[in-house]
Amino acid sequence: MATFFGEILPVISRAVEDEEEDEFLEAEIMWESHADPENSQKISKVKGLIVGVGCIATGFLDAYCLQNGETVKYGTIHETLPDENSTLGTKVSVLATFHANIAHGCCTVYCLCKSYLVPDKIWEFINVLTSAIQLDETSDVTVLDSASYASYLQCSAEAEVPFVKSLYTTAFDKKNSKFPALAHPNLVKGLAAAVMTHCELKHIPAILYVCYTDSISLDLASVNAFRPFLDGNNQKNDEQTDKATNHVKSLIASSGCKHSIYT
Amino acid sequence: MSRYDRAITVFSPDGHLFQVEYAQEAVKKGSTAVGVRGKDIVVLGVEKKSVAKLQEERTVRKICSFDDHVCMAFAGLTADARVLINRARMECQSHRLTVEDPVTVEYITRYIATVKQRYTQSNGKRPFGLSALIVGFDYDGTPHLYQTDPSGTYHAWKANAIGRSAKTVREFLEEKYNSEVAGSDEETIKLTIKALLEVVQSGSKSMEIAVMRRNQPLEMLDSDKIDAYVTEIEKQKAAEAEKKQQKKGKST
């Protein structure tokens, strides 16, 4: 309602029937552990954390790192919503799954986050993640992410798409980077940026590899763009590479999202 | 850049028509198509995309005929291709009825290119998001291969590729195409298959080959024939690799 002096006053209209306002249901992000008691002790000290964000990075980790039989399911971070229609329980959507590789005496945890995280929830996710996975200055963090080639800003023609660029924290030794650095004024957003920010604040050596691709869904070329990351980490022979390629193809086939408008 | 890339009819200060250039990016989303022109034969080869289990495979086609003597393979937006193909077919029949002669390959290519160009200059419309390889024989028996793109330009080629990985395939064709290959029907077909094998992952099951010979209708090769060609090509490659190994062994 506007007053004589031009002031706007909020007034409830009497023409509209009062409705009970729906109670806004806030989702909660929680960690759930799936580790056996036997493995829990081995996993308690995490040497390395590898985070995959998006379908391409998670497809790469799934095919090249999780199919070797040495990883165990560690836990999940999920979103819990109260379910009005059911008194039995709450709806759960899994935001990220965690797998631990406890071979060779040290523990590397793989975090696969395929879901899109709304910006409001990212820091809550990071808090839950860092509570569940104890990281310190001796840990190594690697983040794999993907972005559209259209968002890549460049002053000269880049190599053929897809290609990978890296971004690292101050504590990281840049000689260990497997890909060229990401130049200004390119930006990184979302969960990957939040993980890197957290690592920078806590002086944790961390590196982010971003794959710039022209595909919005999982495709073999974009997954293979990350392969130099494996050099020296988990050397793959031809047989294992073929197995990984077949696994990626089965993921592509099962994902069902193809560019059917293009032939 | 963003100020000049929304409307099709607006040039940017440096002379770009961004919507047309973005349409050319849409072409790269489509699977690879290759065209090779021989002396007495024209060959089209396309990468066959895997279809869903319940989908009828024969309704997913990248190669289509306009008339008995001219056909096309495309890469890009499927729906845009369907509209252009319908128009081209109508034009071919209209031409036959009006002038009592079949269209020349250049005529129908120019017609398609003109339609595409019109859509780069009209307000409220967007360009066609596809490139086409048009092959066929004129009534005097001359074989032709033309390529059109979303801007409405068209050029004649001896061999070309469009779609995803087109650059890789084109470089291969530049290296391997010569008059000796063009002079033999079998070698022309093999060159098309070899070019596709550069980019196709799983081999013969993922490609379709269409062959048109002078005064003969379009022939789609059976998968058995394609398998036979692929086996022969692989044998030749293995023999060449062995020769190279022997040469290396002798020189050391």
Residue A24 pLDDT more than 70? no
Is B26 in the A-facing interface, judged by CB distances under 8 Å?
yes
A91 — pLDDT class (breaks 50, 70, 90): low
Q: Do A260 and B29 touch (CB under 8 A)?
A: no
Find the CB nearest B78 among A214, A253, A262: A262
Q: Over 70: is that where the pLDDT of A170 sits? A: yes
Which one has a higher pLDDT value, A217 or B46? Answer: B46
Total residue count of chain A as it appears in this document:
263
B29 close contact with A: CB closer than 8 A: yes
Mean pLDDT of chain B: 91
Is residue A86 pLDDT above 80, yes or no?
no
So what's the pLDDT on residue A18?
58
What's the pLDDT score for residue B200?
84
CA-nearest residue to B162 within chain A is A263
The proportion of chain B whose per-residue pLDDT surpasses 70, expressed as a percent, equals: 95
- Give how far B130 is from chain A: nearest CA, Å: 9
More confident of the two residues A179 and B251? A179
Give the number of other Cβ atoms within 10 Å of residue A201's Cβ.
9
DSSP one-letter code for A2: B
pLDDT for the residue numbered A232: 58
Structure tokens at A152: 């890549």
Contact B75, B26 (CB under 8 A): no
DSSP code for A47 = S
Contact residues on chain A for B58, CB-CB shorter than 8 A = none
Q: Tell me what the mean pLDDT of segment A129-136 comes to.
A: 88
pLDDT more than 70, % of chain A? 80
**What integer is the mean pLDDT of A128-132?**
90
Which residue bears the tokens 């007053």? A3
In 3D space, the residue among B31, B63, B64, B26 whose CA is nearest the CA of residue B47 turns out to be: B31
Lowest mean pLDDT among A34-43, A109-118, A172-181, B14-23: A34-43
Please give the mean pLDDT across all residues of chain A: 82
User: pLDDT by residue (tens digit) across A191-236?
Assistant: 999 999 999 999 999 999 999 998 878 888 899 899 888 865 555 5
**Do A258 and B49 lie within an 8 Å CB cutoff?**
yes
* pLDDT for the residue B98: 97
Instruction: Mark yes or no for CB contact B25/A259 under 8 Å.
Output: no
Distance between B189 CA and the closest CA of chain A, angstroms: 22
So what's the pLDDT on residue A73? Answer: 87
Residues facing B130 on adjacent strands: B76
Which is more confident, A166 or B250? A166
Choose the mutation target among B5, B25, B29, B200 for the interface with A, i.e. most A CBs under 10 Å: B29
CB contact under 8 A, A263 and B74: yes
Q: Does B19 touch chain A (CB under 8 A)?
A: no
- Record: contact A261-B81, CB cut-off 8 A: no
Could you give phi then psi for residue A259, rounded to 5 degrees? -80, 75
B30 vs A253, A256, A262: nearest CB: A262
More confident residue, A16 or B15: B15
Query: How far, in Å, CA of B106 to CA of B94, rounded?
Result: 16
Q: Taking residues B58-78, what's their average pLDDT? A: 92
pLDDT of residue A7 exceeding 60, the answer is yes
pLDDT of A102 over the 60 cut: yes
Closest CA–CA distance from residue B185 to any residue of chain A (Å): 28
The answer to whether residue B5 scores a pLDDT higher than 60 is: yes
Q: Which of residues 193-252 of A touch B (CB under 8 A)?
A: 214, 220
Token pair recorded at residue A254: 């099962």
| Number of alpha carbons in the 13 Å side-chain half-sphere of residue B110 | 5
**B177 or A240: whose pLDDT is higher?**
B177
Distance CA A164, CA A146 (A): 9
Please say whether the beta carbons of B211 and B221 come within 8 A. yes
Among A81-90, A169-178, B56-65, B172-181, the range of highest mean pLDDT: B172-181
**pLDDT over 90 for what percent of chain B?**
72
pLDDT of res. A84: 64
Residue A261 has pLDDT above 80, yes or no: yes
- Per-residue pLDDT, averaged over A53-62, amounts to 93
Which pLDDT does position B91 carry in this prediction? 97
Only one residue has tokens 């040039």, namely B11
Residues 171-230 of B with CB under 8 A from A: 201
Chain B residue at shortest CA distance from A149: B25
Query: For testing the chain A interface, which of B51, B78, B165 should be mutated: the one with the most A CBs within 10 Å?
Result: B78
A214/B201 Cβ within 8 A: no
The band of B43, judged by pLDDT with boundaries at 50, 70 and 90, is very high
Q: Do A262 and B76 touch (CB under 8 A)?
A: yes
Q: What is the pLDDT of residue A142?
A: 95
Nearest residue of A to residue B163 by CA position? A263
**What is the ipTM metric for this complex?**
0.82
Helix axes of B105-118 and B78-99: crossing angle, nearest 10 degrees:
130
**What is the C-alpha to C-alpha distance for residues B103 and A209, in angstroms, rounded to an integer?**
54
> Distance from B115 to chain A by nearest Cα, in Å?
20
Segment among A118-132, B34-48, B193-207, B211-225 with least mean pLDDT: B193-207
Closest-CA residue in chain A for B168?
A160
To probe the interface with B, which of A151, A220, A246, A262 has the most B CB atoms within 10 Å?
Answer: A262
Higher pLDDT, B240 or B132: B132
Q: What is the pLDDT of residues B192-250, one digit of tens each?
A: 999 999 988 766 788 999 999 999 999 999 989 999 999 999 999 899 899 888 888 77
pLDDT at A186 over 60: yes
The pTM is what?
A: 0.74
Of A160, A256, A262, the CB nearest to B29: A262
Q: Looking at beta carbons, which residues of chain A come within 8 Å of B60?
A: 263
pLDDT of A259 over the 60 cut = no
List CB contacts of B11: < 8 A, sequence separation 6 or more. Answer: B4, B17
In A106-124, which positions are buried (b, 16+ CB within 10 angstroms) versus exposed (e)? ebbbbbbbbbebeeebbeb
Q: How confident is the model at residue A151 (pLDDT cuts 50, 70, 90)?
A: confident
* pLDDT value at residue B169: 95
SS (H, E, C) chain B: CCCCCCCCCCCCCCCCCHHHHHHHHHHCCCCCEEEEECCCEEEEEEECCCCCCCCCHHHCCCEEEEECCEEEEEEEEHHHHHHHHHHHHHHHHHHHHHHCCCCCHHHHHHHHHHHHHHCCCCCCCCCCCEEEEEEEECCCCCEEEEEECCCCCEEECCEEEECCCHHHHHHHHHHHCCHHHHCCHHHHHHHHHHHHHCCCCCCHHHEEEEEEECCCCCEECCHHHHHHHHHHHHHHHHHHHHHHHHHHHHHC
pLDDT, mean of residues A49-61:
93
> What does the pLDDT read at residue A70?
80
Split at pLDDT 50, 70, 90, the class of A8 is confident
